[in-house]
Amino acid sequence: VILLCFRRYLLMALTSCLFWNTFGLSAPMDSKPNILLFLADDLGIGDIGCYGNDTIRTPNIDRLAREGVKLTQHIAAAPLCTPSRAAFLTGRYPIRSGMASSNRYRALQWNAGSGGLPANETTFARLLQQQGYTTGLIGKWHQGVNCETFNDHCHHPLNHGFDYFYGMPFTLLNNCQENKPPELDVALQAKLWLYSQIITLAVLTLTAGKLTGLISIRWKIIACFTLAGSLFFISWYSSYGFVHYWNCILMRNHDVTEQPMRLERTASLMLKEAVSFIKRNRHGPFLLFVSFLHVHTPLFTTKKFLGKSRHGLYGDNVEEMDWMVGKILDSLDKEGLKNHTFTYFASDHGGHLEARDGSAQLGGWNGIYKGGKGMGGWEGGIRVPGVFRWPGVFPAGTVIDEPTSLMDIYPTLVHLAGGILPQDRVIDGRNLVPLLRGRAEKSEHEFLFHYCGSYLHAVRWHQKDSGAIWKAHYVTPVFHPPGAGACYGKGICPCFGEGVTHHDPPLLFDLSRDPSEAKPLSADTEPLFDTVVRKVGRAIEEHRRTLTPVPEQLSVYNIMWKPWLQPCCGTFPFCWCDKEGDSTQSL
């Protein structure tokens, strides 16, 4: 009897396996799979092999696409890191959480600013934590740290649903590496230096005039000028003069472990932490968010990868990141977790075209798409890689051309974990599971709104009955020099003011026929022009009715350096430490 039952069970299993494989369908889902998220920083969609690059080697990311699903129209909710990551974590447009800026500072500038992801925003980590997941973040945060004191950690990852954090509360900058030109607020620093020099020259002139008798002035007035000049210099140089110490730090949970960080071992530390997290939590379920510091400038790359690519330092950095992806995937295999893990790879926005060192390109390539990082409407700033793998559940080798968003990860993960979406707020993301499993043919998104800071620059309409993807641009950046395709000399394109052009009627493209946005349509060339423009206009009105006023987290006051908020591993201002020691064994 036992033998008969076993044979019957084996026959049923073989029949089921044959059925799923024969008809190209996915198997039933495990309950509460492990979740592994990879998010690159500033990576262009054209930088990896599975999206057409044949000169930068990315075999591990390509393997994910080969074994899973590749999205070709995966869209970031913002073209810069802070707002894009806020949308990724919350499933909501950044303007809903106050993480969209109306000034020229569109990302957090300091660890010691008071702005950040508000405590009343519910991240996917929080919801998965409530479903029994152990949650971890390794790498970049850039969503703020403190609100009122140096250790209240109101914006910290551990206050947003993560059980474990190891990484940078901020983001990489040129300032983090010696012998690199400063990157943070360069134009303002130049003005402050100029004003300081003018004040110094004025004091010296008055002093010389007093000593030679050419100027009749009291010493008390000269002393006041000197004191005012000194206070002015100290007020700004105490922040901008020590960016390396204030922003370039590593934390483990609530503790600062390196200040300043040592870039030569950062990649090894991040990799070690990710592998260790998987090993510690192999009995699951776990959520591991690996938020790479790669491939943001200064592109610090370990010796093992320097000079190995055909695209200079940038290519070296991409290949090192791909190697790290491979090592983390290997750890899944080693623990026998590959088939029980939902894996995702993406970038927070498009490549940074203006990142250059002379003639050397230090930013990514966005393929056929116009524009790049910082440009709210053009595809190159917001269309990013999107790769999913879940063996046995998602059909391997699938390519999906439907419009999707990084915000969709939020409801997708909540669905996989068996949770319930918050009912007290608008969630802009959509559950991707039916699309990824082949159970749905169309994306649930009809409209996607493309912001630059708090300014709406463009809108995408997915006309499902015809298959057209209309895109209307109401504001576009003014390229410098004209026709260059980027804002060279400015560092990044602006969202408002003299650096943009307003379009009425909007520039209209059909991305299904013109993905490069090379030929704008008009009423003369497109019979549906007026219909499309009216439809998009009504969608904007409806969208704006769903917005409610919230405090602006990226206001000038909130992004200012405040010494009383500075994370410090000593007694401020004596903030330096190295608690990692020699903990970076090779992996």
What integer pLDDT is reported at residue 28 of this predicted model?
58
Contact residues for 240 (Cβ-Cβ < 8 A; gap 6+): 182, 184, 185, 189, 192
Per-residue DSSP letter, 245: H
Residues in the chain, total? 587
Cis peptide bond N-terminal to 573, omega within 30? yes
> Active-site residue 349, yes or no?
no
Reading the chain (587 residues) residue by residue, the pLDDT tens digits are: 443 444 444 444 444 443 344 434 445 566 799 999 999 999 999 999 999 999 999 999 999 999 999 999 999 999 999 999 999 999 999 999 999 999 999 999 999 999 999 999 999 999 999 999 999 999 999 999 999 999 999 999 999 999 999 999 999 999 999 888 888 887 788 888 888 999 999 999 989 998 888 888 889 998 998 999 898 888 888 888 999 999 999 999 999 999 999 999 999 999 999 999 999 999 989 999 999 999 999 999 999 999 999 999 999 999 999 999 999 999 999 999 999 999 999 999 999 999 998 888 999 999 999 999 999 999 999 999 999 999 999 999 999 999 999 999 999 999 999 999 999 999 999 999 999 999 999 999 999 999 999 999 999 999 988 889 999 999 999 999 998 999 998 889 999 999 999 999 999 999 999 999 999 999 999 999 999 999 999 999 999 999 999 999 999 999 999 999 999 998 999 999 999 875 544 44
Cβ contact 172:362 at 8 Å: no
DSSP one-letter code for 480: B
CA end-to-end span of the chain, whole Å?
51
Neighbours of 6 (CB within 10 A): 10
CA 140 – CA 105 distance, rounded (Å): 19
CA 37 → CA 139, 274, 368, distances in Å?
12, 11, 26
pLDDT digits (tens, 9 = 90+) for 114-165: 999 999 999 999 999 999 999 999 999 999 999 999 999 999 999 999 999 9
CB neighbours of residue 234 within 10 Å? 11
Residue with tokens 């926005």: 349
Task: Say which of 50, 74, 81, 493 is annotated catalytic.
Answer: 81
DSSP one-letter string for 23-59: TTPPPPPPSS-EEEEEEESS--GGGSGGGT-SSS--H
Question: Which pLDDT value is given to residue 25?
Answer: 44
pTM of the model: 0.92
DSSP, residue by residue, 305-371? TTT-SSSHHHHHHHHHHHHHHHHHHHHHHHTT-GGGEEEEEEESS---TT-EETTEE-S---TT-S-
Query: Of 5, 17, 74, 142, which is the active-site residue?
Result: 142
Angle between helices 312-334 and 266-280 (to 10 degrees): 20
Backbone angles phi, psi at 225, to 5 degrees: -60, -45
Distance CA 234, CA 241 (A): 9
Helix axes 409-417, 81-90, angle to 10 degrees: 30
- Gap between the Cα atoms of 464 and 471, Å rounded: 14
CB 375 within 8 A of CB 477: yes
Q: 176 an active-site residue? A: no
Angle of CA points 436, 442, 447, to nearest 5°? 115
Q: Convert 119-142 into a string of H (helix), E (strand) and C (coil).
A: CCCCCHHHHHHHCCCEEEEEEECC
